[in-house]
Amino acid sequence: MDQAKNPDEKPSQPPVHSVLHETRTAENSATHLLPKLQALKELNPKLSLLDVGSGSGTISVSFAKLIPEGHVTGVDLNPNILPRARAVAEIAGVTNIEFQQGSIYKLPFADETFDVTFCHQVLIHIANPWDALCEMLRVTKRGGVVAAREGDYETECVWPEVSELQRFHKLMASLMSANGGAPTAGRQLLSWALKAGADRSQITLSFSSWSYTTPSERSVCAQGLCSPLRGGSLREKALKHGLGTEDDFEKMANAWEKWAKTEDASLAMLNGEILIQK
C-alpha cells in the first residue's frame, strides 16, 4: 500500500494483538478443506465462499487467491477489525473479496447462498457452537460444504516446563471458559456437528497440529502472547475476574520472552477439523 496516498490509513498496520493471527493462511489453517475446495472449483470456478469470524482477513484473502474467478465474503462480529481486513486484501492486490459485520449466530445472508462456509478458531470461543454450525449449514448451498477448524487448547504442550507458562495456560483456559467457550473444542467438533443436525455420514473429522519451533516462530509467538498480558481487553477481563495480578501477568510475559530465546523451546497444539457435506 502506498502510504503517501493514504496518510490516514492506520489499519494498514497490523494491530499488535494480531501478530499471531496474521500468520494464518488457507494453506496453513484450512488444509483439510483445500482438496474439497479444488474439486468444487473444477466443477464451478465461480465459487462463493464465506469466511465467518474473518478477523484480520489473512485466511479470507488467501482463499480469494485460490478461487480467482470466485468470490469471498468475510464476516466478523467486531466492526473495528474490518478496515484492517480490507487493508490486508488491498496490500495483497486481491479484489474478489468483501468484508462486513455480522454474527455467526445470525448470518446476514439468505438460505443456500454459499458453496463453501468456513470458520477458524471461532466455535472454541462461543457458548452454543452447534447453533453456529446450524446457521453455517443454512447459508450453504446443497452440494456445498461447511468446514471448521478449532484448537484443542488442553492439548497445548510447551517445552521447557516453566511454572509461569503453565499458569498462563490455566489463565487462558479460564478466560475461554468464563466467556462461554470450550478449551477442548477440537475433540468436540464432531459432537457439535451432530447436534447441529448433520448426519454422521456427511461429516469428515480430522486432526492437525500447529506449532512454533524455530527461533523466529518463537519470537512471533512470544510477541503475540506478551501483548495481551501487558495491555488490552483480555488483561482487563482477567483482572476483573480475579484471575491474576498485574505482577503475575508481567512475570508470565517475561517467561514468554525468555522462552523465545531458549534453544530447545517449542509450543505445539492439536486442532480438530470437520467437513460437513450438505
Residue 158 in contact with a second copy, rule: CB under 8 A: yes
Residue 169 in contact with a second copy, rule: CB under 8 A: no
Whether residue 52 contacts residue 113, with contact meaning beta carbons closer than 8 Å, is answered with no
Query: Which of 3, 78, 209, 233 touches a second copy by CB under 8 A?
Result: 209
Q: Which is nearer to a second copy, 182 or 243 (CB)?
A: 182
Quickly count: other Cβ atoms within 10 Å of residue 60's Cβ.
30
Helices 233-240 and 215-230: crossing angle in degrees, nearest 10, is 60
DSSP tag of 14: P
Query: Which of 160, 180, 231, 232 touches a second copy by CB under 8 A?
Result: 160
Residue 152 in contact with a second copy, rule: CB under 8 A: yes
d(CA 190, CA 205): 7
Query: Which of 101, 163, 191, 245 touches a second copy by CB under 8 A?
Result: 191
Q: Which is nearer to a second copy, 135 or 152 (CB)?
A: 152
Query: Which of 5, 142, 200, 240 touches a second copy by CB under 8 A?
Result: 200
Cis peptide before 108 (omega within 30 of 0): no
Pull the grid cell for residue 40: 468444487
Pull the grid cell for residue 166: 503453565
Span near a second copy by CB under 8 A; candidates 23-31, 61-69, 96-104, 189-197:
189-197
Span near a second copy by CB under 8 A; candidates 37-45, 119-127, 202-210, 219-227:
202-210
Q: Which is nearer to a second copy, 78 or 201 (CB)?
A: 201
Pull the grid cell for residue 52: 465467518
Query: Which of 211, 216, 245, 254 touches a second copy by CB under 8 A?
Result: 211
Q: Which is nearer to a second copy, 209 or 233 (CB)?
A: 209
Q: Which is nearer to a second copy, 46 or 170 (CB)?
A: 170
Residue 175 in contact with a second copy, rule: CB under 8 A: no
How many residues comprise the chain?
Answer: 278
Under rule CB under 8 A, which residues in 247-276 are in contact with a second copy? 263-264, 266, 268-270, 272
Cell 451432530 belongs to 194
Residue 188 in contact with a second copy, rule: CB under 8 A: yes
Whether residue 180 contacts residue 118, with contact meaning beta carbons closer than 8 Å, is answered with no
Angle at 219 between CA 238 and CA 153, to 5 degrees: 45
Cell 497440529 belongs to 209
In the sheet that holds 114-120, the strands lie side by side as 97-101, 71-76, 48-52, 114-120, 140-159, 266-277, 203-212
Alpha helices by DSSP H, 21-162:
26-29, 34-43, 58-66, 82-91, 129-138
Query: Which of 38, 80, 206, 245 touches a second copy by CB under 8 A?
Result: 206
Quickly count: other Cβ atoms within 10 Å of residue 252's Cβ.
25
Minimum distance between the CB of residue 159 and a second copy, rounded to whole angstroms?
4
Query: Which of 20, 92, 162, 205 touches a second copy by CB under 8 A?
Result: 205
Residues of this chain that bind a second copy (CB under 8 A): 152, 154-155, 157-160, 184, 186-188, 190-191, 194, 200, 205-209, 211, 213-214, 263-264, 266, 268-270, 272
